[in-house]
């Protein structure tokens, strides 16, 4: 069951990135059938090691800036599906970015880059599946690391912190959205017929989010809990807003 939920999370998150516009820090690629798949980290910033640490720390700073604005955005959702959907999409994309950062910390991402490049070159169409498989592997390693007391390297600490911030932001969004989407569905149900008809187009997607989000959040909370334990063991600074719901 846990594996099914994990796959669901990645499928939903990948659907966001597959349709996203290119953003800062994203590496764009196209396969032969024009489906776009993004790896978000910039490979040109990975060498030398000092530059990679600087890059990871800069992404952590950007992540903290995003984190600082999330609470206000969540407080302004109201009875409107558009901002709810936007926050849900943002949470799934942040999860993907966090997972890529963690793969970099664990030394897995380089193999992902190579495998995805090969998949695109051969038009095999399985770039997303490669990411999902390696992400599941990273989750298992992170869970094991949470029980270990061995100190991480400086570059690992930098990437763990960046991933922790992004995962924490995703959890913050998702925790608020569980109630927000349920409230939205109740609001639509209470509307008179004519007004309800105007919102009807949003109900299928809202209902799907309401159904799947608690399971997604539960899995994310488990990952965040492991990252917090690793951070505390390694004296990695944890922003005050990053906490378990």
241 falls within a domain: no
CA distance 4 to 216: 11
**pLDDT at 34 > cutoff 50:** no
19 falls within a domain: yes
69 falls within a domain: yes
Considering only 7-21, 59-73, 79-93, 103-117, which range has the smallest mean pLDDT? 7-21
What's the per-residue H, E or C state across the chain?
A: CHHHHHHHHHHHHHHHHHCCCCCCCCECCECCCCCECCECCCHHHCCCHHHHHHHHHHHHHHHHHHHHHHHHHHCCCCCCHHHHHHHHHHHHHHHHHHHHHHHHHHCCHHHHHHHHHHHHHCCCCCHHHHHHHHHHHHHHHHHHHCCCCCCCCHHHHHHHHHHHHHHHHHHHHHHHHHHHHHHHHHHHHHCCHHHHHHHHHHHHHHHHHHHHHHHHHHHHHHHHHHHHHHHHHCCCCCCCCCCCC
Give me the chain's average pLDDT, please. Answer: 86
**Confidence (pLDDT) at 204:** 96
Q: For the chain, what is the largest distance between any 2 Cα atoms, rounded to a whole number of angstroms?
A: 63
Domain count of the chain?
Answer: 1
111 falls within a domain: yes
pLDDT digits (tens, 9 = 90+) for 85-142: 999 999 999 999 999 999 999 999 999 999 888 888 887 778 888 888 898 999 999 9
138 falls within a domain: yes
**Confidence (pLDDT) at 36:** 57
**Confidence (pLDDT) at 116:** 87
Indicate the pTM of the whole model: 0.84
242 falls within a domain: no
Q: Which domain holds residue 25?
A: 2-233
11 falls within a domain: yes
**Confidence (pLDDT) at 15:** 42
Query: What band does 233 get if pLDDT is binned at 50, 70 and 90?
Result: very high
Query: What band does 37 get if pLDDT is binned at 50, 70 and 90?
Result: low
140 falls within a domain: yes
pLDDT: which is higher, 106 or 25? 106
**Confidence (pLDDT) at 140:** 94
């Amino acid at each position: 069951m846990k594996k099914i939920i994990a796959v669901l999370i990645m499928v939903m998150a990948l659907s966001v990135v597959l349709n996203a516009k290119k953003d800062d820090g994203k590496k764009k690629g196209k396969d032969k059938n024009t489906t776009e798949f993004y790896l978000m980290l910039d490979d040109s910033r990975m060498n030398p090691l000092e530059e990679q640490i600087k890059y990871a720390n800069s992404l952590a700073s950007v992540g903290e800036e995003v984190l600082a604005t999330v609470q206000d955005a969540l407080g302004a959702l109201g009875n409107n599906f558009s901002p709810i959907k936007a926050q849900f999409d943002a949470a799934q994309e942040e999860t993907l970015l966090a997972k890529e950062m963690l793969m970099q910390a664990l030394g897995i991402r380089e193999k992902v880059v190579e495998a995805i490049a090969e998949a695109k070159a051969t038009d095999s169409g399985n770039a997303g599946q490669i990411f999902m498989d390696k992400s599941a592997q990273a989750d298992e390693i992170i869970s094991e690391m949470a029980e270990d007391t061995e100190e991480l390297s400086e570059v690992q600490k930098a990437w763990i912190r960046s991933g922790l911030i992004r995962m924490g932001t995703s959890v913050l969004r998702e925790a608020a959205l569980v109630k927000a989407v349920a409230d939205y569905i109740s609001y639509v149900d209470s509307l008179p017929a004519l007004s309800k008809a105007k919102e009807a187009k949003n109900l299928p997607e809202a209902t799907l989010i309401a159904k799947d989000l608690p399971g997604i959040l539960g899995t994310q909370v488990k990952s965040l809990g492991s990252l917090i334990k690793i951070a505390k063991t390694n004296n990695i600074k944890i922003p005050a807003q990053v906490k378990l719901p």
